[in-house]
Chains A and B, each alone.
Chain A
Amino acid sequence: MATKRMIRKLFRNWLAAVGMILIVGLVGMAVLAPWIAPHDPYRQSLRNRLQPPSKTFLLGTDYYGRDVLSRLIYGARYSLSVGLISVAIGSTLGTALGVLAGYFGGAIDRALVAVLDILMAFPGMLLALTIVGLLGPGLFNVMIAVGVWSVPIFARVVRANTLVARNLQFVEAARAVGCSHTRTVFRHILPESVSSILVLCTFRMSTAILTAAGLSFLGLGAQPPMPEWGAILSESRSILRQAPGISVYTGCLITLTVVSFNLVGDALRDLLDPRMS
Chain B
Amino acid sequence: MLFPDRFKEPQMTTYILRKILIGIPVLVAVVTLVFLAIRLTPGDPVRQMLPPDASEDDFIQMREHLGLDRPVLYQYFRYWDRILHGDFGDSLRTRRPVWDELSSRIPFTAELALVSVILSGLIGIPIGVFSAIRQNTAFDGIMRVAAFIGVSFPSFWLGTMFILLFALSLGWLPASGRGGALWTLSGMRSIILPALTLAIGSAASISRMTRASILEVIRQDYVTVAKAKGLRESRVHWKHVVRNGLIPVVTLLGMQFGFLLGGAVIAETIFAWPGIGQLAVNAILFRDYPLIQGVVFFFAAGVVLVNLLVDLTYAFIDPRVTTS
Q: Which of A's residues lie within 8 Å of B, judged by CB?
A: 114-115, 118, 121-126, 129-130, 132-137, 206, 210, 213-214, 217-220, 230, 233, 237, 240-241, 244, 247-248, 250-251, 254-255, 258-259, 262
Please tell me if the beta carbons of A217 and B281 are within 8 angstroms of each other in the complex. no
Partner-contacting stretch, out of B66-74, B103-111, B120-128, B284-292: B284-292
**Smallest distance from the beta carbon of A246 to chain B beta carbons, Å?**
10
Q: With a CB–CB cut-off of 8 A, which chain B residues contact A121?
A: 26, 303-304, 307
The range of chain B's interface size is: 35 or more
Say whether A134 contacts B292, CB under 8 Å.
Answer: yes
Question: 16 A-B contacts, Cβ less than 8 Å apart?
Answer: A121-B304, A122-B300, A125-B265, A126-B258, A129-B284, A133-B284, A134-B41, A213-B156, A217-B269, A218-B156, A219-B285, A240-B160, A247-B161, A251-B154, A258-B153, A262-B148
Measured in the bound complex, the distance between the Cα atoms of B262 and A204 in whole Å is 17
Contact call A123/B261, Cβ cutoff below 8 A: yes
Query: CB-CB contacts of B15-50 with A at 8 A, as 1s and 0s?
Result: 000000000011001100010011001010000100
Chain B residues in contact with chain A, CB under 8 A?
25-26, 29-30, 34, 37-38, 41, 43, 48, 148-149, 151-157, 160-161, 163-164, 168, 255, 258-259, 261-263, 265-266, 269-270, 280-281, 283-285, 287, 292, 295-296, 299-300, 303-304, 307
Known: A230-B156, A255-B152. A217 touches B296 (CB 8 A): no
- Interfacial chain B residues near A210, Cβ < 8 Å: 152, 154
Report the nearest A residue to B145, measured CB to CB: A15
A124-B262, A126-B299, A126-B303 known; A136+B155 contact, CB < 8 A: no
Taking CB atoms, residues of chain A closer than 8 Å to B160 are: 233, 237, 240, 247, 251
Within 8 Å CB of B296, what residues of A? 130, 133
Q: Are A137 and B303 in contact (CB under 8 A)?
A: no
> Which B residues are in CB contact (< 8 Å) with A134?
34, 37-38, 41, 292
The binding surface of chain A is classed by DSSP as helix
A-chain residues with CB within 8 Å of residue B259 when the two chains form the complex: 123-125
A39 nearest CB across to chain B (Å): 24
Known: A122-B303, A126-B258, A251-B157. 18 other contacts (CB 8 A): A123-B258, A123-B262, A126-B262, A126-B303, A129-B262, A133-B283, A133-B296, A136-B41, A136-B43, A136-B48, A136-B287, A214-B266, A217-B266, A220-B285, A247-B160, A248-B161, A251-B161, A262-B148
